[in-house]
Chains A and B, each alone.
Chain A
Amino acid sequence: MSTEEENQTVFDVAAASMLTEELRDVFASGKTRSYEWRISQLKSVIKMCDEHEEDIADALHQDLSKPKLESIVYEVLVSSEVDWWYVVQISMLKNSCALAIKELKQWMMPEKAKTSLLTFPSSAEIVSEPLGVVLIISAWNYPFLLSLDPLVGAISAGNTMVLKPSELSPATSSLLAKLLPEYLDVSSIKVVEGAVSETSALLEQKWDKIFYTGNGRVGRIVMAAAAKHLTPVVLELGGKSPVVVDSGIDLQIATRRIIVGKWGCNNGQACISPDYIITTKDYADKLVDSLKKELETFYGENPLESKDISRIVNSNHFSRLTKLLDEDKVSGKIVYGGERDEANLKIAPTILLDVPRDSLIMKEEIFGPLLPILIVSEIEDSWDVINSGTKPLAAYLFTNNKKLKEQFVMSVSAGGVAINDIAMHLAIHTLPFGGVGESGTGSYHGKFSFDAFSHKKSVLYRSFTGDAALRYPPYTLGKIRLMKALMTSNLWTILRTLLGLS
């Protein structure tokens, strides 16, 4: 048995360099380009999920630090928001794989492109080819899904890759490091565990693409490292996703959807969670009452004790969140919740009403179970409020007013928007998922994942016939006239010119 010390090999820049060299050689061999290789890897991902569901659930539970549930046995009724969290992740991932397996042949086919008179005769197509060696850096809040969903995209596009799972979800990270080599082609798909220094070592290398999920601060670090090598990036970041709530809606349904979208998604620790609400003065009280009622139905009178509330991921984030609550400007604005349990890193669902725009809680992404409500006089004032901040990853509107819906879609810029629901666009694989501005660049899901990890190469086929003398020097006035006519692509003009009538 080797000792702990012997096992401790530092993953430094030299190691990272060797790793990428290796992956580059494997890529150059062409192995990952074949349809068969890609399909076999995708099928293995599904197999891995099926055969190790328990282990995955365990790891996810551990990362949320819930005591390991002795009764993972399915006959016993076990309730947990954590189960929902892992069911969602595994289901979504398997769907992703299944979709890729089903559509890969089509995705890999070249796309015919139209040709114009200017290049006549010719045929043209756009061919998808793998980028090469890619780096995927994942996040801690949906550690399983956010590691493997991009990986599925990279595989389906035919690349070699390194996955760096988040160190803030260590059990999942370590499980992925153990399982991926067992199920996937270890020469082409590597997992590197670690924190800042390992990530920095990786970022110094030259990649053909970097796919990062996380926050804007680290997103900038990733982009800066990429700029040195002109490496394109996908940055899936976050922001303050607002929910505009109009009057005249089915309040109970809307409230439930908001609650699930906020506290049902890792207790607000999700990139597309509603961050804050905007509503009119008149409607605010009704909304608060409805929220209180439904929250109690879901989580009981003592939400801190409900098994369906996730903990805050670590003490850093716990302090950050309590600081937001304790700021003088807002501490008097709490209308529901506010309880916290530092020992267990839990914060109860908390609603704050009419917070000042310049409070801390309104400055940065909350990423926690605190829901501030902003008041406006007219609901249309919401657009300016939202647009005065940075573009969020998602924006939501609850209304039955057609005009308002159109105004919302036209005036609010966000990665994606949803009307009368929260986070649904995540599950629709025909829609790209990504941010804009501060909330990110690039997108994925479904075919967009394949595209994100592909280079679309333009290919033009010309024959040796069909050359016009006017293309070549020496140039004459006649040639100029004919060229002008050709540019207009107007046959009548061309004809007239050829006949010398123009």
Chain B
Amino acid sequence: MEGVKGLESDLEAMRQYFRSGKTKDTAWRQSQLKGLLLFIKENEKHIFNALKKDLGKHPVEAYRDEAKLPRVALLSSAELVPEPLGLVLIISSWNFPFGISLEPLIGAIAAGNTAVLKPSELAPASSSLLANVLPTYLDNKAVKVIQGGPAVGERLLQQKWDKIFFTGSARVGRIIMSAAVNHLTPTVLELGGKSPAVVDSLASSWDKQVTVNRILVSKFGACAGQACIAIDYILVEKRFASTLVELMKVMIKKMFGENPRETNAIARIVNQQHFLRLKSLLRDPAVQNSIVYGGSLDEKNLFVEPTILVDPPLDAAIMTEEIFGPLLPIITLDNVEDSIAFINSKPKPLAIYAFIKNEKLKRRMLSETSSGSLVFNDAVIQYAADSLPFGGIGESGVGKYHGKFSFDTFSHYKAVTRRSFLTDFWYRFPPWNDYKLLLLEATYNFDYLGMLLVILGLKRRRQNSGGM
């Protein structure tokens, strides 16, 4: 690991490289993006293996979530010119180490920046693959991967960046934004929160089945719930709760088998610290008593069984902190409409999922709640919609990306105006007098008649002098 001096000179070299203009060149950007694509294609097996090592992920889950590349358009108009910011820092998280590292990197490169990527040390196999193999596909003078934990992170944060893109927890998000103050560096913070799924009392068995399928895959099938947009908890009417639970029990077995620990159908918990955190969420006897399915823990294998709870106490940690694991609390309400007030009593989440058919309730959800995104009748899938900005609000984050928004987030849109030497408003210039002021006012308001009147000497008073 290099010392601060080494880091600083490396970064200075990158800034010089940026100043040379190389990264602004369209051909360069295209070659880098092609390089990234090639990296993914040629290293698919290695990527799957790294993910398996880090998280015990099934390849399909990994592929689905990690191997996408958006199409990005370069936009330029005569008046608004996008330009790269310069040297940017991308800090990614451990749960989707490739996707969350590469997607922002794509945006940064497409926008013409130089970039340093710091993958999460909690996914060491993935981090190592990115650090050792990715550079062989890209221009090393422009893109560097630096491995390490909090100490390295801190050193990086002391440097001057033109943008910092961070995916992770709100706690660290605050540290990042505070560090960014020193150089007035703008930040994108992709954080999390408790993303609820509101489930209405559905009549049709088809709808019920689809709903349950989507909920289960969006909780237990999303890195075992360790995803910022995974469903955190469910809100459902009392009269429908048991139906929902029974359906879920059946489908969990169908999807993840009788013995999910053996079949690798569910990712494991990333490390012991998080395992113990989840274990402690279940420690409270009242919470224990609310478990209706699952609940078994295997510390040696860092495995937590898909677990359903009904009405754990609202002040327990499992209902006040982001769960980030395969524990699914179901909170029952008298009326599904009460879900709105419930959601609003908590910090704004990254996503709200509403499985409802009632059009009026849909409209209320839309206008009375606030979240990064809102999805009707599905979950997690908004991540795949490249034309929608992806990001949080309030505690769930600042800024957005995906698709063209990635390009935008790593660009500065510079306003450009051009004038000729031909025309000028002579009354723009001092010495000032009332005549000039009258003309000026008329011009500002595009009041051509007013201008004419002033010139003809027919208008001597200012507009709205009616105050006298």
Contact = CB atoms under 8 A, between A and B. Distances in A.
Interface of A: 28, 30, 33, 49-54, 73-81, 83-84, 87-88, 91-92, 94-95, 113-116, 118-119, 122, 124, 126-127, 129, 131-132, 208, 216, 219-220, 223-224, 226-228, 230, 232, 235, 237, 249-250, 253-254, 256-257, 259-260, 264, 298-300, 306-308, 387, 400, 405, 409-411, 413-421, 424-425, 428, 430-433, 436-438, 440-441, 443, 455-465, 467, 471-475, 479-480, 483-484, 487
Interface in B331-369: 344, 366-368
17 contacts: A30-B368, A50-B464, A50-B467, A53-B464, A113-B385, A119-B385, A126-B389, A223-B177, A264-B428, A418-B417, A428-B415, A433-B415, A457-B372, A458-B373, A458-B385, A460-B385, A484-B63
Nearest to B413: A432
Contact of A219 (B184, B387, B424): B184
B278 interface: no
Given A50-B464, A475-B265, A418 B418 contact: yes
Contacts of A114: 387
Given A77-B434, A235-B184, A474-B265, 12 more contacts: A116-B384, A124-B385, A223-B180, A257-B424, A298-B429, A308-B431, A387-B19, A416-B415, A416-B417, A419-B417, A420-B419, A459-B373
B398 A458 contact: no
Interface stretch (B4-12, B207-215, B307-315, B322-330): B207-215
A129 B344 CA distance: 15
Given A33-B367, A74-B462, A457-B370, A409 B416 contact: yes
Contacts of B435: 77
Given A227-B181, A298-B430, A437 B162 contact: yes
B261 interface: no
A116 B387 contact: yes
Chain B contact patch, size range: 35 or more
Contact of A230 (B177, B381, B433): B177
Interface string B420-443: 110010001111111111001100
Contacts of A53: 462, 464-465, 467
B414 A87 contact: no
B61 A127 contact: no
Contacts of B440: 84, 87-88, 91
Contacts of B216: 472
Given A53-B464, A264-B429, A113 B64 contact: no
Contacts of B366: 127, 459
A437 B184 contact: yes
Contacts of B398: 230, 232
Contacts of A308: 430-432
Contacts of B67: 487
Nearest to A294: B429
B184 A216 contact: yes
A473 B173 CA distance: 33
A249 B421 contact: yes
Interface stretch (B78-86, B91-99, B103-111, B239-247): B78-86
A438 B399 CA distance: 19
A430 B79 contact: yes
Contact of A299 (B162, B367, B382, B431): B431
Contact of B384 (A119, A410, A472): A119
A307 B79 CA distance: 37
B24 interface: yes
Contacts of A472: 213, 216-217, 221, 255
Given A431-B417, A460-B382, A299 B430 contact: yes
A419 B388 CA distance: 35
Nearest to A421: B419
A425 B415 contact: yes
A21 to B, nearest CB: 15
Nearest to A90: B441
A419 B431 contact: no
A69 B399 CA distance: 49
A464 B433 contact: no
B279 interface: no
Given A54-B467, A473-B221, A462 B377 contact: yes
Given A91-B444, A431-B79, A460-B388, A473 B256 contact: yes
Given A79-B433, A216-B184, A436-B414, A227 B174 contact: yes
B21 interface: yes
Given A457-B371, A472-B217, A84 B437 contact: yes
4 tightest A-B CB contacts, nearest first: A416-B415, A227-B177, A475-B60, A458-B388
Interface of B: 19, 21, 24, 58-61, 63-64, 67-68, 79-81, 83, 85-86, 162, 170, 173-174, 177-178, 180-182, 184, 186, 189, 191, 204, 206-207, 210-211, 213-214, 216-217, 221, 255-257, 263, 265, 344, 366-368, 370-378, 381-382, 384-390, 393-395, 397-400, 412-421, 424, 428-437, 440-441, 444-445, 460-462, 464-468
Nearest to B83: A413
Contacts of B418: 405, 418-420
B430 A224 contact: no
Contacts of A132: 370
A467 B214 CA distance: 9
A158 to B, nearest CB: 11
A457 B367 contact: no
A250 B424 CA distance: 12
A37 B341 CA distance: 24
Contacts of B424: 253, 256-257
A428 B181 contact: no
A118 B385 contact: yes
Given A457-B374, A472-B221, A473-B217, A416 B416 contact: yes
B419 A419 contact: yes
Contacts of A118: 381, 384-385
A439 B315 CA distance: 45
B60 A483 contact: yes
A298 B431 contact: yes
Contacts of A73: 468
Given A416-B417, A417-B415, A418-B417, A220 B181 contact: yes
B240 to A, nearest CB: 16
A137 B419 CA distance: 33
Nearest to B384: A118
Nearest to B173: A230
Which of B177, B214, B415 counts the most chain A CB atoms within 10 A? B415
Given A223-B181, A475-B61, A409 B81 contact: yes
A307 B382 CA distance: 61
Contact of A460 (B80, B373, B416, B430): B373
Contacts of B21: 411
Contacts of B388: 113, 124, 126, 458-460
B43 to A, nearest CB: 15
A87 B436 CA distance: 11
